[in-house]
Structure 1
């Protein structure tokens, strides 16, 4: 390929091990856009802009990619990754999805929304920490003809995970209400959600 663009991201595994990913994008001779993840490398060093800059330079070099042919590198809005690209003097573009996520987060800062999200999180936590509730949930789902899906936890670093958590919560609302309502060891209080009722746990 004559020229290419790239995306990179720092992320943590489920065991909280840090990794640096690198994906390249290019148009081949048939005018087809191709994207190839070249590496997801263990990155235990401090995540300063300077160290990330060196890590990215090494990554391109190890794949024989010329910095001069890099048209643009897309990243999230992290200050350290932005500094790394500036240090390398590489053209950069912030990820639209990440900027949209941040805009939505800022746009929904409202006590009522925070309260509803808090209810969802507490309910999800109640089921994730109790195998009995998960067992009961499966039985109730079968009785109600609901999909046998697990609840989804929100992860601040996973874009859209809050929306997925709420969507799954609403899908399973009747089952959640039945299981938590039958729990005599805790006091439950019903509060209003925009479309109906959910349990405050």
Structure 2
């Protein structure tokens, strides 16, 4: 199985409009330690001429390797909300009944299902496992 990471650039224009760009999709072979991830990010940032001092946040899942990479690069940590909610739902799935989980999944459908492609895929998988009718957004 190959590992990949994506470098996105988000910024606000002088007119206060949010802009986002996918700069690079990086293959991360081997072990994905924070040190290795930070090194790869440094390489990509240098290739794009991005100054670390101009980068203020590092958005990521909450894996210890990603938190560690942010610390190596002296970035502020910004965990992904969809990943955090996914972990909460998985934890609750182990503890509660399917009926309770159907309510939780339905409550978070907008947050998880519509704001990121990864979140949308995860939500769709859980929704399908619960045998619910197809969501109107899919």
Using the size of structure 2 for normalisation, the TM-score is: 0.72
Larger radius of gyration: 1
Structure whose residues are more often strand by fraction: 1
* CA root-mean-square deviation: 2.7
Q: Who is 1:92 aligned against? A: 77
Where does the alignment leave 5 or more consecutive residues of structure 2 unmatched? 99-120
Q: CA deviation at 1:166?
A: 3.3
Q: State how far apart, in whole Å, the 2-side matches of 1:55 and 1:165 are.
A: 36
Q: CA deviation at 1:108?
A: 2.5
Cα displacement string for residues 163-182 of structure 1 (whole angstroms, at most 9, x for unaligned residues): 33236x3338xxxxxxxxxx
Q: State how far apart, in whole Å, the 1-side matches of 2:60 and 2:75 are.
A: 12
Q: Does 1:19 align with 2:19?
A: no
Q: Does 1:61 align with 2:46?
A: yes
SS in 1 for 2:39: helix
Q: Who is 2:87 aligned against? A: 102
Q: Does 1:32 align with 2:24?
A: no
Q: CA deviation at 1:85?
A: 1.0
Which of 47, 52, 67 is equivalent to 1:82? 67
- Residue pair 1:45, 1:51 contacting (<8 A) in 2 also: no
Q: CA deviation at 1:159?
A: 3.1
Q: State how far apart, in whole Å, the 2-side matches of 1:53 and 1:105 are.
A: 28
Q: Who is 1:164 aligned against? A: 127
Structure whose residues are more often helix by fraction: 2
Q: Which runs of 4+ in 1 moved over 6 A?
A: none
Where does the alignment leave 5 or more consecutive residues of structure 1 unmatched? 1-15, 114-157, 173-201
Q: State how far apart, in whole Å, the 2-side matches of 1:111 and 1:100 are.
A: 16
Using the size of structure 1 for normalisation, the TM-score is: 0.51
Q: CA deviation at 1:112?
A: 4.4
